[in-house]
Chains A and B, each alone.
Chain A
Amino acid sequence: MEKRYYQPEVETASREQIRKWQSERLVKQVKHAWDNVPYYRKKMEEKGVTPDDIKSVDDLHKLPFITKADLRDAYPYGLVGKPLSECVRIHSTSGTTGKRVMAFYTQHDVDLWEDCCARAIVAAGGTKEDVCHVSYGYGLFTGGAGLHGGSHKVGCLTLPMSSGNTDRQLQFMTDLGSTILCCTPSYAAYLAESIKERGIKDQIKLKAGIFGAEAWSEEMRRDIEQQLGIRAYDIYGLTEISGPGVSFECEAQTGMHVNEDHFIAEIIDPETGEVLPEGSKGELVFSCITKEAFPLLRYRTRDICVLNSEPCPCGRTHIKMSKPMGRSDDMLIIRGVNVFPSQIETVLLEQGYQANYQIIVDRVNNSDTFEVMVEMTPENFSDSLAKIAEMEKSLVSALKAMLGIAAKVKLVAPKSITRSEGKAVRVIDKRKI
């Protein structure tokens, strides 16, 4: 098979060349953050580091980390490195306690991000002859915009479908002959199921799928590949770092190549913050070395992964990361949406419930189910069933407003939620991924 790349000179550069780019760009980026992001400058000063201390990637470990708590403290503009007049876009995702994470982009940032997504599409076999069907959500979520931009760069005919409305998805897919599908893996599985039910498999021309924004197993990959008759590729990213395309799978399907000319990946011990040698399992940390508007350095993703720079049969030289194997915080990803238990706690307290709750997540027919068990309180109890139902409905809407996805609420008797060693078990994740 002929090997194809979107930016071959970058994607197949020697390790030495990549390292050289990283060092040059890191030095420049640290200076940019020091000069233009007072919040980060203060963090550097507290750690006793100045831009003069950073001469190459070897000095990266000297820099302070940025965490989600920093994003919250600095909300909304505190980590922005360019005047707003230079910024052209924001994207946003949910934060830990209701405050959203807001990421800013200059036109240059959008360009580089779209390049990263274009690399992923070409790695999945995309060319300008393809019809790229983007069923990620469009809007504040980065999924739609990222793959949409990447698809334009490759020159595919781009279908900006956004998520939902399965009938319309399938109609466009059959009428326009979509060849590449971009969406969450659970939505891909759902579409595959719908195609089977309707018996329209012979009208589907898909050859590849680029599926990300949530965890999925090898087994789920094989299911989707078999049902849709495609090859299914994983893609990784997070809004703070840009969005999808921070890393992506190639035809080898043995990990995701990190776009190292833009993002330096490290693995650290989540307890001590110490950098771990390649091949160790630990928390993934990214430094953005080309981004202007949101120049995060050493951002702790809380995803637990392993890095591997062994040569890849695809010819790409950029380091590969494993699928995230877990989290070093309590964040859940449910139907592609970040959910923090603390957000649920905030809503419960606002609605007059105790913070006694349990989240039960499962995966049924490749789709996530999400139930919140809430203990009834004397304040919210009534002898009238209608009033209880009203309170329950108001809780369901408040959760939806906070989280962006619907949860099923189950009211239970007080003190009935299991506690182990006096500490409540907040999350039961039954998904086998």
Chain B
Amino acid sequence: MIYQISVFLENRAGQLAEITGLLAKNNVNIRAISIAEASDYGVLRMIVDDAEHASAILLENGNVLSMTPVSVVAVPDRPAGLADVLAVLADAKVDIEYMYSILAHGNETAYMVFRVSDDEKFANAINGKGLRIAEKAELGLK
């Protein structure tokens, strides 16, 4: 299972720099990042190479966070690659809460992080259509 670290962000200049600086100092590699924002606050969503280590550091430094299980799907790196994946999910009636892309390691695959309403339905739909849920190792995650 891949865990996303979700961190509460208040609307204040420099907060993002503080968090990324803290991770840099502790040698954590951020593999994917996405921000959801409301007018006065936001949620920072990250996939990092060592989620346990990173969350411990963030907690020690007074952040509020949660570990959210997500799925990463290997998406063919070609036109319509993502469209095909999303069509499969639409057919299976899986609701996507949010998604964002993750850095690929120089092969012909792109990766998308998904947070969905029903993980089992999601896995069945993806696996049944010749698509593939990515493993931690290929993403450089511990």
Contacts and interface: CB of A to CB of B under 8 A. Distances in A.
B interface, by DSSP: helix, strand, loop or mixed?
Answer: strand
Contacts of B65: 378, 381
Given A388-B43, A413-B10, A382 B64 contact: no
A414 B45 contact: no
B6 interface: yes
A283 to B, nearest CB: 39
Interface in A368-382: 376-378, 381-382
Interface residues of B, number: 23
B63 A414 contact: yes
A388 B43 CA distance: 10
Contacts of B9: 413
Nearest to A383: B6
Most buried by A among B10, B65, B66: B10
A416 interface: yes
A385 B40 contact: no
A47 interface: no
Nearest to A381: B64
A385 B11 CA distance: 14
Given A383-B115, A385-B38, A414-B63, A376 B43 contact: no
Most buried by A among B4, B6, B9, B41: B41
Given A413-B10, A416-B10, A388 B68 contact: no
Interface string B29-49: 000000011101111010000
A376 B65 CA distance: 10
B10 A411 contact: yes
B36 to A, nearest CB: 5
Contacts of A381: 6, 8, 64-66
A383 B38 contact: no
B65 to A, nearest CB: 7
A200 interface: no
A394 to B, nearest CB: 15
Interface string B43-85: 1010000000000000000111110100000000000000000
Nearest to A378: B64
Interface in A384-421: 384-385, 388-389, 410-416
Given A376-B64, A384-B97, A385-B38, 14 more contacts: A376-B8, A376-B10, A378-B66, A381-B6, A381-B8, A383-B43, A383-B115, A385-B42, A388-B43, A411-B10, A412-B41, A413-B9, A413-B10, A413-B62
15 contacts: A378-B66, A381-B6, A381-B64, A382-B66, A383-B4, A383-B6, A383-B66, A383-B68, A385-B38, A388-B41, A389-B38, A411-B8, A411-B40, A413-B63, A414-B62
Interface of B: 4, 6, 8-10, 12, 15, 36-38, 40-43, 45, 62-66, 68, 97, 115
